[in-house]
Chain A
Amino acid sequence: MTTPLLRVDDMRIALAGDGVTHNAVEGVSFEIGRGEAFGLVGESGCGKSITALAVMGLLRRPLSMAGGRIVLEGQEIQNASAAEMRRLRGKRIAMIFQEPMTALNPLSPVGRQIAEMFVLHEGMGWNEAMDRAEDALRQVRVPSPERRIRDYPHQLSGGMRQRVMIAIALACGPDLLVADEPTTALDVTVQAEIIDLMAELCAAKGTAILMISHDLGLVANMCRRVAVMYAGRIVEAQVSEAIFAHPTHPYTQGLVDSLPRLGERARRGRQRLREISGVVPSIAAYPGGCRFNPRCPASTGICREVAPDVTALPEGGLVRCYHHA
Chain B
Amino acid sequence: MPEALLTLDDLAVHYAVGSSFKGGLKTLKAVDSVTLDVKPGECLGLVGESGCGKSTLAFAIMGLVAPTRGRMLLDGEEISAARKLDRMKVARVVQMVFQDPYASLNPRQTVRRTLAQPLGIHGVSDKAEVEQRVADMMAKVGLRPDHADRYPHEFSGGQRQRIGIARALILKPKLVICDEPVSALDVSIRAQIINLLLELKDEMGLAYIMISHDLGVVEHVSDRVAVMYLGRIVEQGGWREIFEDPRHPYTRALIAAIPDPFNRVVNAAAKAHGEIASAIAPPPGCHFNPRCPLRADRCVAEEPLLEAVGAGHLAACHFRDRTA
Contact = CB atoms under 8 A, between A and B. Distances in A.
Interface in A198-231: 214-218, 220-222
A217 B261 contact: yes
Nearest to A230: B188
Interface of B: 49-50, 156-159, 186-192, 194-195, 198, 213, 215-217, 219-221, 239-240, 243-244, 253-262, 264, 271-273, 275-276, 291
B186 A43 contact: yes
Contacts of A60: none
A100 to B, nearest CB: 14
Contact of B195 (A255, A272, A279): A272
Interface string A227-249: 00000000000001101110000
Interface of A: 43-44, 157, 159-160, 187-193, 195-196, 214-218, 220-222, 240-241, 243-245, 251, 254-255, 258-266, 270, 272-277, 279-280, 295
Contacts of A215: 187, 259
Contacts of A157: 275
A188 B254 contact: yes
A273 B264 contact: no
A23 B157 CA distance: 24
B260 A262 contact: yes
Contact of A188 (B157, B191, B192, B213): B213
A273 B217 CA distance: 11
Contacts of B276: 187
A62 B157 CA distance: 25
B92 to A, nearest CB: 30
B188 to A, nearest CB: 4
Interface centre among B49, B186, B240, B271 (most CB of A within 10 A): B186
6 contacts: A43-B188, A187-B49, A193-B273, A217-B260, A255-B187, A270-B220
Contacts of A263: 219, 243
B277 to A, nearest CB: 10
A189 B158 contact: no
Nearest to A226: B261
Contacts of B257: 188-189, 191-192
A188 B271 CA distance: 11
Nearest to A42: B187
Contacts of B187: 43, 214-216, 255, 258-259
A279 B259 contact: no
Contact of B191 (A221, A262, A274): A274
Contacts of A188: 49, 213, 215, 254, 257-258
Given A261-B216, A272-B195, A273-B220, A241 B261 contact: yes
Contacts of A295: 188
A215 B198 CA distance: 23
Given A189-B271, A244-B262, A259 B191 contact: yes
Contacts of A222: 259
Given A157-B275, A279-B158, A265 B220 contact: yes
Given A189-B49, A266-B240, 6 more contacts: A187-B50, A190-B49, A217-B261, A254-B188, A273-B191, A280-B186
Nearest to A274: B191
B219 A265 contact: yes
B194 A273 contact: yes
B50 A258 contact: no
Contact of A258 (B191, B244, B259, B271): B191
A275 B189 CA distance: 7
A296 B291 CA distance: 46
B258 A217 contact: yes
Contacts of A189: 49, 253-254, 257, 271-272, 291
